[in-house]
Amino acid sequence: MRISTKARMNRMFTNGGCLDVAIDHGVCNEPGFMDGLEDIGSVVDQLIAAGPDAIQMNYGQADLLQSRADKHKPALVMRIDMGNPYNDQRHRVMWSQLQNADEPIIGALEMDAAAVVVNLFMLPDEPDLFHQCVENIAKVRAACSRYGMPLMIEPLVMLPNEVRGGYQVDGDVDKIATLVRLAAEMGADVIKADPTTNAEDYHRVIEAARCPVLVRGGGKEDLKTVLIKSAAVMAQGAQGMVYGRNIYQHDNPKQVVAALMAIIHKGASGEEAWEIYQSG
pLDDT tens digits, residue range 18-74? 999 999 999 988 888 899 999 999 999 999 999 999 999 999 999 999 999 988 999
Burial of 111 (0-12, 13-18, 19+ CB in 10 A): middle
Distance between first and last Cα of the chain = 49
The per-residue pLDDT for 163 is: 63
pTM score of the predicted model: 0.95
Residue 115 forms part of a structural domain: yes
Separation between Cα atoms, residue 179 and residue 193, nearest integer Å = 9
For the chain, the domain total comes to 1
Neighbours of 1 (CB within 10 A): 4
Q: 229 near 270, Cβ under 8 Å?
A: yes
As a whole number of angstroms, the distance between CA 176 and CA 122 comes to 10
- As a whole number of angstroms, the distance between CA 197 and CA 118 comes to 23
Q: Residue 37 is part of which domain span?
A: 6-279
- Separation CA 261–CA 243 (nearest Å): 12
The CATH number that applies at residue 187 is 3.20.20.70
Q: Residue 1 domain-assigned?
A: no
Residue 98 located in a structural domain: yes
Question: Alpha-carbon distance 204 to 113, whole Å?
Answer: 30
Tell me if 241 sits within 8 A of 20, measured CB to CB.
yes
**In DSSP terms, which residues pair with 122 in a beta bridge?**
157
Residues 215-241 have pLDDT tens digits of 998 778 899 999 999 999 999 999 999
Give a yes or no: residue 68 inside a domain.
yes
Residue 219 in any domain: the answer is: yes
- Name residues of the chain where pLDDT drops below 50: none
Query: Looking at the domain assignment, is residue 255 inside a domain?
Result: yes
Burial class (CB in 10 A: 0-12, 13-18, 19+), 117: buried
CA distance 195 to 207: 14
The Cα–Cα gap between 206 and 14 comes to 19
User: What is the predicted pLDDT for the residue at 169?
Assistant: 83
* 145 falls within a domain: yes
